[in-house]
Amino acid sequence: MEQFIYTLQTARDTYSNVLVGILRYGAPILAGLLLLRCLKSLLTFRREPEIWAWLCLDDGKKLPITHWENVIGRSKRSDIVIREPSVARSHGVLTRYDNGAWTVTASDAAKSILVNNKKTRHSLLTPEDVFTVGGVQMRLEPITPQQEKKLAQLRTKGSSFTTSLWNVILLTVFQALCCLAYLMSGQRETAQTVLIGFMGLMVMEWLLLLFYVCIHRTSFEVESIAFFLSTLGMNAVAAVVPGEAIKQLFAMGLGLVVFLIVGWSLRNLERAKKIRYIAGIAGMLFLLVTLIFGTEYYGAKNWLVIGSFSIQPSELSKVCFVFMGASTMQRLMKKRNLILFIVYSVALCGCLALMNDFGTALIFFCAFLMIAYMRSGSIGTVALAITALLFAGVMALRIAPHALQRFDSWRHIWEDPLDGGYQQTRALMCMASGGMFGLGAGRGWMKNLFAADSDVVIATICEEWGLVMVMLLIAAVVGLALFVVRSAAVARSSFYTIGSCTAAGIMIVQVMLNALGTVDVLPLTGVTFPFLSNGGSSMLCAWGLLAFVKAADTRQNASFAVRLQKSGGGSDE
């Protein structure tokens, strides 16, 4: 390897200019192509209604049941609409389980649901059972195992193995070129770590693809996007702190493990519902431990240092928080109030405020808003929460006016370019210098700037790889969010919809705070860009959140976080 690196570096002067000249256009084309392939299949897959059972009414009418969780009610927005005055707007919930069983649940004790003439709050339903909802008699007729098998076959397939293979090949070529560019421009001492960093990344994605093949899953778009972002993260590491490439690779590896674990726990809804409580407690504990034993860096006490190892537990709390916020329809209908969840959220935000970590607190707050809205559907709740935040903010500023200082230079960075606006003015100067296609790998100045690989990482990417690449980065995250919104229509449980929307929401908010903070559209808060920013905890969190996104992918054979539907009632584990 030594010899290889040496040969590369002596050829540097001759070939590096040529390589940069080619990569300026080649890199965005490759990245754009990859992204286009991924987003096309994520955003255009057909969402056909799936019929899981029929509801046979007294008058002989048969209503199709198209979800696993169905609200029965008079309201137009119910999943099963029964226009009878005796039926409440949201009367009850019909739920299908993994094993094909069905239950009916009344939304509250006052609502009358009779199963075989016995009043019940929650009851298992068999095809023989006659049940009454608000005086309307009906019977549930689940689809036959043959029909279910047919349904599974007809369901839109996830992208084929060939498509995924090509995506990974594209990704690998992109990574190889990035790696080559940094090897030819970088220091000799750090070349080996950079090489290992990129090679490791390639090995990781091929191993994951191989694993998917083994468990009969073929879709790789969401992962491709994550690896694409990680590759540019590795670029930033190679440009700014090449010595940390192996550390970052290790973080990515751990992140992948977190992704698989969270995904596995989401596979079985019953299991996920139980893990939810453990996650809730863990999320709180992470913060409490940090609050007590944490170390303060740059004004925020959000680091836990154990020997030579340091993590930001608040990042892991984010994943736990998403778990905690997700909920099934049945539960949502039974327990309408959010009080417990609000108390939990306030406690988390309180811990973060005590840790002085306002950036993370803001992300939790946005996640809270997302969850609160998803669960209640009430704009009023959201407005109330925002008002409460404003009050808290005003109070906080009265108590600690120095907190305002960090916003002093916001939109005024050019008035104080050597002090308050230093970081952002340099970032903008370098971004402008890079233009649309960048100056080339390793030719940037950003490495001299504080947090060039984390808080202001997009400026580093823009300087060396161009503004087009930054736009692709943002498009990638926006694409994930749009995919989550699209797949919400065919989701099996509101648990997954709320979870995936919150996870994608957190990513969007982080990108917003990070990217727009760097370019002075928003104040700079020191929030990380998912997958892109250098930092282990942030990487773990990003992969953890991605598992929720992956769990929303119900296409046939698409997601390891969704069980394969084999034949009637059965599914693999």
**Binding stretches for other proteins (CB under 8 A):** 17, 21, 24, 67-71, 77-79, 329, 366, 370, 373-374, 377, 414, 417-418, 425-426, 428-440, 443, 445, 448, 466-467, 471, 474, 477-478, 481-482, 484-485, 488-489, 491, 494, 497-498, 501, 504-505, 508-509, 511-512, 515-516, 519, 521-522
* Beta bridge partners of residue 69, listed in sequence order: 95
Burial of 31 (0-12, 13-18, 19+ CB in 10 A): buried
- Provide, rounded to whole angstroms, the least separation between the CB of residue 500 and other proteins: 8
CB of 464 to other proteins, least distance (A): 10
Handedness of CA 268, 269, 274, 275 (dihedral sign): positive
Nearer to other proteins, 166 or 407 (CB): 407
Specify the residue, 80 or 540, whose C-beta has the smaller distance to other proteins.
80
For other proteins, give the closer residue by CB, 180 or 481. Answer: 481
How many Å apart are CA 536 and CA 272, to the nearest integer? 25
Q: Which residue has the tokens 């098998």?
A: 149
Q: Look at residues 513, 518, 525, 510 and name the one whose alpha carbon lies nearest to residue 449.
A: 518
Of 212 and 437, nearer to other proteins (C-beta) is 437
How far apart CA 530 and CA 538 sit, in angstroms, is 7
Give the shortest CB-121-to-other proteins separation in angstroms. Answer: 21
CB nearer other proteins, residue 212 or residue 321:
321
Nearest in space to 506 (alpha carbons), one of 371, 392, 328, 406: 371
Q: Are 121 and 106 in contact (CB under 8 A)?
A: yes
Q: What is the nearest approach in angstroms of other proteins to the Cβ of residue 168?
A: 27
- Amino acid residing at 177: L
Identity of the residue, 68 or 358, whose beta carbon is nearer to other proteins in the bound complex: 68
> Length of the chain, please?
573
Least distance (Å) between residue 209 CB and other proteins: 28
**Shorter beta-carbon distance to other proteins: residue 180 or 366:** 366
Residue 203 or 489 having the CB closest to other proteins: 489
SS3 content of the chain, % helix, strand, coil (to 5): 60, 10, 30
The per-residue b/e assignment along 412-451, b for 16 or more CB within 10 angstroms, e otherwise, is ebeeeeeebbebbbbbbebbeebeebbbbbbbbbbbebeb
| Beta pairing class for 69-73 and 80-81 | parallel
Distance of CA 397 to CAs 3, 383, 401, Å? Answer: 59, 21, 5
For residue 397, the minimal CB distance to other proteins (Å) is 24
The structure tokens listed for 455 are 């808080």
Whole-angstrom CA distances from 69 to 2, 88, 279 are: 60, 17, 23
Of the two residues 272 and 504, which places its CB atom closer to other proteins in the complex? 504
CB of 153 to other proteins, least distance (A): 23
Q: How far is the CB of 23 from other proteins (least distance, A)?
A: 11
Minimum CB separation of residue 300 from other proteins in Å reads 24
Structure tokens at 458: 């997009």
Q: How far is CA 88 from CA 349, 376, 423, 508, in A?
A: 37, 17, 58, 37
Q: How far is CA 9 from CA 4, 16, 192, 239, 264, in A?
A: 9, 9, 12, 16, 44
CB of 357 to other proteins, least distance (A): 21
Nearest to other proteins of 275, 431 (CB atom): 431
Q: 420 vs 466, which CB is nearer to other proteins?
A: 466
Report whether 543 contacts 226 (CB < 8 A): yes
CB of 418 to other proteins, least distance (A): 7
Residue with tokens 């002090």: 419
CB of 512 to other proteins, least distance (A): 5
Place of tokens 């050829």: 11
**93 forms bridges with which residues in the sheet?**
71, 105
CB of 201 to other proteins, least distance (A): 26
Q: Which of 200, 197, 199, 210 is nearest to 165 (CA)?
A: 210
Closer Cβ to other proteins, 29 or 432, answer by number: 432
Token pair, residue 31, equals 């990245």
- Of 69 and 223, the one with the shorter C-beta distance to other proteins is 69
303: left (phi over 0), alpha (psi -120 to 50) or beta: beta
CB 60 within 8 A of CB 138: no
Alpha carbon distance 105, 179 (integer Å): 57
Q: In the complex with other proteins, which residue's Cβ is closer, 264 or 445?
A: 445
- In the complex, the smallest distance separating the C-beta of residue 291 from other proteins, rounded to whole angstroms, is 29
Among 153, 236, 156, CA closest to 198 = 236
